[in-house]
Amino acid sequence: MAARPETARKILVYWMDGVIVLLALSLSVFVAVLVAEGRISVPHALAAEACLLGGFCLFPFLLRAAFDNRPRPTVRLVVSGVAALGAVLLVPSSPNEALGESSWSMVAFLWLSAVVLFQPMWAAVCTGVVVIVLTSAVVTVITGQPWQVVLPVQAFTAVTMVLAMWLWRWLWWTIRDAHESQEAKAGLAVAEERLRFARDLHDLLGHSLSVITLKSELAAKLATKDADRAAREMADVRRLAGESLAEVQLAVDGYQGIDLNEELDGVRAALEAAGTRCTVEARADDLSPGTRALLAWAVREGATNVLKHSAATRCAITIDGGVLEMRNDGVRGVGAGGGTGLRGLAERMATAGGSLSAGPTPTGEFLLRAAVPG
């Protein structure tokens, strides 16, 4: 469905926003505890908190800017990098604050995870090496730990956060590409069907219409010279026209000859595969073949609209006495007029003496109702 990839995108982005908020709150609480214990001064804490919040507040904008593609580095990316550097430098001054150092260095690694969304692989690797070396040096100087111990820990943390962000965006790209490929496949199938129909019509009518044209011209020329032969030619024209009409009707019937039960099964499978729970209640065994065919077309069109134009989570299909009702909860401001598919279906229903209506209901659902004489 058109709405589902966008829903997946929002879930992924908002999930990351939630992680950022939790991380920002935890580090802010850490700063407050340090101030309360007198380990750092209030100005020191305010400066550190400003850098912290600056980096975290800019991160959601960076994520949204680079989630669908790889843009060029922006001013926001540079500013957030400066804020992350300030946060790392404004670490607690006590050499025993190893945990605090580890937490603060995560701010730099979070910024690095955003950098990989903007840079090609080689540039991201170079930037990552610089960030890991700088943060490791700061941690080594402040805590007094050997760099041989600090560097592997910092490198592991940085690589883990960068890979997590890269996989996060790759998951969205996979969802988006899969949806686009489905749409392309559906469009290709429609185009192929149109070409096949056009080819069939050409094969059926091309020869017959050419012969009809020639015989009509011949009859017109013979009308004043040989009336009997002109009459025979026009009789052939009439015969050929009748045969051509019958052939076209057979071709159209082949396109229209869909089975209602098969269509209901196919629609239910398609909707449930797209995440829409579908229930079917059909009592149509006593209906005529023509009525069943019309209802099958209505079911197909209704399901197409649900898949293309709604965000439905459930759909109910009922058929009773030549009356079809399809209800779904995915109303998105669709009017009763509908698109070209619904208009064509309404014309077909009207030709058969039936009716079609489609539009939102007072209960917040979308209802497609088709009534066909049994």
Domains and CATH numbers, the chain: 3-179 (no CATH), 181-256 (1.20.5.1930), 260-371 (3.30.565.10)
The pLDDT of residue 98 is 41
The 10 Å Cβ neighbour count of residue 71 is 12
d(CA 253, CA 172): 43
Q: How confident is the model at residue 326 (pLDDT cuts 50, 70, 90)?
A: very high
Non-local CB neighbours of 176 within 8 Å, separated by 6+ positions: 5, 9, 68
Q: Which tokens belong to 218?
A: 């011949």
Least confident of 124-138, 160-174, 204-218: 204-218
Per residue in 171-206, pLDDT (tens digit) is 777 777 776 776 676 677 667 767 766 666 665 666
Whether 276 contacts 328, CB under 8 Å: yes
Q: Note the pLDDT of residue 327.
A: 92
d(CA 60, CA 64): 6
Q: Encode pLDDT of 219-246 as tens digits.
A: 787 777 877 777 877 887 777 777 777 6
The pLDDT tens digits for 268-282 are 877 776 678 899 998
**Beta-bridge mates of residue 314:** 277
Percent of the chain with pLDDT over 70: 79
Rounded-to-integer distance, Cα 183 and Cα 206, Å: 34
Beta-bridged to residue 318, according to DSSP, are 281, 325
Residue the block writes with tokens 């760099």 = 147
0.75 cut: is pTM over it?
Answer: no
User: Is residue 337 scored above 90 in pLDDT?
Assistant: no
Section 159-164 average pLDDT: 83
